[in-house]
Amino acid sequence: MRFNSLVYFGFLAVVVAVLWLLPVRARKAWLLVASCVFYGSWHAPFLGLLLTAATLNHLGARWIVAATDRHRRGTVVIAANLLLLAVFKYADWALSGVSGISTWLGGPAVPLPGWVLPLGISFYLFECISYTVDLVRKRETLHPFFDFLLFIAYFPKLIAGPILRAKEFLPQLAKHRPPDAASVRTALRELLIGLFLKVVIADGLSQGVDAAFSKSPASLGVLDVWVMAIGFGLQIYFDFSSYSRMAIGSARLCGIELVENFNHPYVARSPADFWARWHMSLSRWIRDYVFYPLVGRKTSLGAMVRAALGSMLLCGLWHGAGWGYVLWGLAHGLLVAGYHVMTFSGRGRPPVKSAVRSLIGAVVTFAGVSLAWLLFRAPSAADGFALLGRALSPLGHLNRALSGTFYLEVFLVTLAVWSAPWVSGRLESGWSRLQTRPRRLAFAAGLEGLAWGLLFAVSLVYLRGQTAFIYFQF
């Protein structure tokens, strides 16, 4: 039951309608049942694993708060979560490496368990870990079991986030009330825009991107490589941000606010700024639970560099079991570490505001992030390095192997992405001014409704079955 399907929209309509017809005491139970139905529709055994993991984590939480010294017990619970994640996500990859070494030395091949990666496991186990850490730090309290279970299993954010903290979700259950008209309007807008971005933009780019990465690196010219790198960066951005929009819209109709996950990342002025805008819920998680502890109390340049490299390597591994993800994380670690090296001496001083400096920073960051996507998307690490070599040797490979249509698509979408902050700002200010002019407001509201209807109609035309979201594999 993917977000980009009419089945999901029917499911959501039933969930929302029944939710607000039920008495207050029954609403949490209904949301939990709906979440179990949603997740179980993918693969019933996955639901059993989810409920087991949540139950064991709540038992672990009770065990932690009963102790005088919470750190030792917290470490055990965190290690158990990491072990569960490692078994399902990394066992095949690690054992395939051991098997390769064994056969190279003349020994037998090591059999692989062939685990199927449960959907959303990286997301909900990170939420369990954050809850455990916050309990150990005494920044969180023990919550009732079914409230905690709903926090972990809540269907809009279960498969691919946003990754929440308990304090961002559970207090809303105590004040759970129907959304007002403005919230409903915003939620429907997020759902429609998200659907459009997925089925029209992201899926539209995917055909050219897949064709480009299926070619041999030796057949591609330097411009081809840059365009396919930017093209994939745009595809994964619209694919993932569309899911986040639809998750936020779905949750809002159910009276729950989720955190934002994207804030125009491709206009970021530095690598650190990029990670403050891209997959923001994961970035905050890594910052608070990995980066800050690695830096320690005494901030030094060496600590900042080590923390940046370690955090981004973990970020790469979180995305998947493969050397491409590790190298992608390392590339971002080097970008962030390099940024800290260049700016460390100026820490604490007011930033120098310069349009030229901002533009250069945005272009350099966009180029670095785009090149890193080659390592992420390439079929193998060898292909990733080969593509990087092509991209960084412009005078040696001037041929063109990709279609002019793909070039045009990437150019137009890039232009739209770079202009989006200015356009959205103008639209918001224009709408605010209309609030004081009722006659014009009614006319603008009619136009807006017509626009949303047109957007939905176009999305239905482009709906190609139930294409998967890229982040479902993580």
| Cα 224–chain centre separation | 27
**Paired tokens of 277:** 């805008």
> Which residues are catalytically annotated?
319
**Paired tokens of 455:** 């957007």
CA–CA dist 256, 182 (Å, integer): 14
